[in-house]
Amino acid sequence: MANEPWLGDACSLVDALRAGECSPLEALEACLAAAERSNLNAFSYLDHEAARKAASEADVGLPFGGVPVAVKELDHVAGWPHSEASVVFADRKSAFDATMVARLRAAGCVLAGQTTASEFGGVNCTSSKLHGTTRNPWDLERTPGGSSGGSAAAVAGGIIPVATAGDGGGSIRIPAGFTGTFGLKSTFGRIPKGPQCSQTPHTVTLGCISRSVRDTARWFDICSGFDPRDTLSLPSTGGWEADLGTLDLAGKKVAVVPDLGVAVVNPACSELVEEAAKELALATGMVQVPCDIHLPEGGMVWAMSGLVSLLAELGDRYPGCVDDLTPEIQIGLNIAEHHYDLATAAEAERFRTEANEAMADIFDSVDLVISCVNPDVAFDAAGPLRTTVGGRELMGELGFEKAIANNGALTIPANLTGNPAVSIPIGFVDNLPVGMQVLGRHHEEPVLLDIALAMERIRPWPLVVPGSPI
């Protein structure tokens, strides 16, 4: 441990710390050293002094006592940078801990440093003018996804056992799928977003990128539960880890629709998902049933509501700061500035209503839906966003807007409707990880976790990339 970071999951590190096999300070030092020598560019900030103090005082009897944890740079940590991965706010610092961060501290976590994200969490590729390009440990020429790309690269790359993440359009599931890690996008409101949180657009959920299902279950035991600073947060249910594997999945009806009826998907990824779903059904007794899925299209209208909020945050800095922004953000803000009005806002809410109705109709007839997480395997590390899928060029076929929207078409629906969804590693296409998405009914995360646990046993995935830390 003095030289190499822990390559198991976070729960196994807790066991090792309690058994005296290593100390929290040794675990931290190994993580810091790995982050310093890594060529993944997964970290934007390391808090050596405060982390060493916390590790030296860690109570290993706590749920994550002594475990080094990384924090995505879109999450607040008092005294740490809060640039949102943008040159525009490069000098800004946080004045407080986010509620999730405060709960992690109370559970004994040692906050080691800050992981890179896409600028303002805007795209599914982690490459910014402020921090440069973050790389996928499975292939350094590929992206780990976004916006939680740094967290996913650090966890998969063997640097740190677990990291915070957030999902407003797929930003937990997309990088989990690209890096072979596990990610749960919970029911909206499960982990509070406060303090000082914006209540709109009701799509962002908080969580983690982890190496195992039990790590994520313990994380939600720690971090979920109502907080008055987020009035839409949900009461705690408890028992996330203790109840793992206790549900009877036999007879549950599952629809396997790799493209979710809204995306163009690489046939090789689709076939892998179908194979894994058959194995899962055989092992659990779940029943595959046909289901016509008709989700509305309109992701760009939805995205513009978030871009309008960004315009307000930039304030009088915009448009003078435009050259400091990544090209995708520049294009999005220009569209929002010139085409977003009251009629568009009303259209966005109609789209959300249609999505809610369509998702409710689906879960009237089935218990679960299985699809791909991403339309294809990870693309070029520095971008641009992919417009080809399995060698098929979408730009001329679908047009620019739909070709770009295809990147998040499989994940955005669960954000719009607030449904929980998980990304489970199931194998590889072209030596790159593929994730299987399982969507469930509101508040039924325990079902998704038990399905993921079953899949973890059927097709065990590597906890870190072989040869890590890179």
**Structure tokens belonging to residue 413:** 């629906």
12 phi and psi angles, rounded to 5 deg = -70, -30
Instruction: Determine the Cα–Cα distance for residues 179 and 142; give it in Å rounded to an integer.
Output: 10
Q: Which residues are catalytic?
A: 72, 147, 171
Q: Where are the beta strands (DSSP E) in 325-431?
A: 368-372, 388-389, 392-393, 421-429
Distances (CA, A) of 436 to 164, 244, 264: 21, 19, 15
Cα torsion through 234, 425, 300, 259, rounded to 10: -120
149 phi and psi angles, rounded to 5 deg = -65, -40
Whose structure tokens read 């249609």? 354
With residue 454 as reference, give the H or E element that holds it: helix 445-458
* 416 and 167 Cβ atoms separated by less than 8 Å: no
Give the neighbor-by-neighbor strand order of the sheet with 162-167. Answer: 43-46, 110-115, 68-72, 162-167, 205-210, 182-185, 421-429, 432-440, 368-372, 253-256, 287-288
Which of these, 428, 457, 425, 447, lies nearest to 210 by C-alpha position?
A: 425
**Structure tokens belonging to residue 321:** 């700061």
- Decide the pairing of beta strands 253-256 and 205-210: unpaired
* 3-state DSSP of 123-161: CCCCEECCCEECCECCECCECCCCCCHHHHHHHHCCCCC
Question: Is the link from the previous residue into 384 a cis peptide, with omega within 30 of 0?
Answer: yes
Cα torsion through 88, 75, 183, 110, rounded to 10: 130
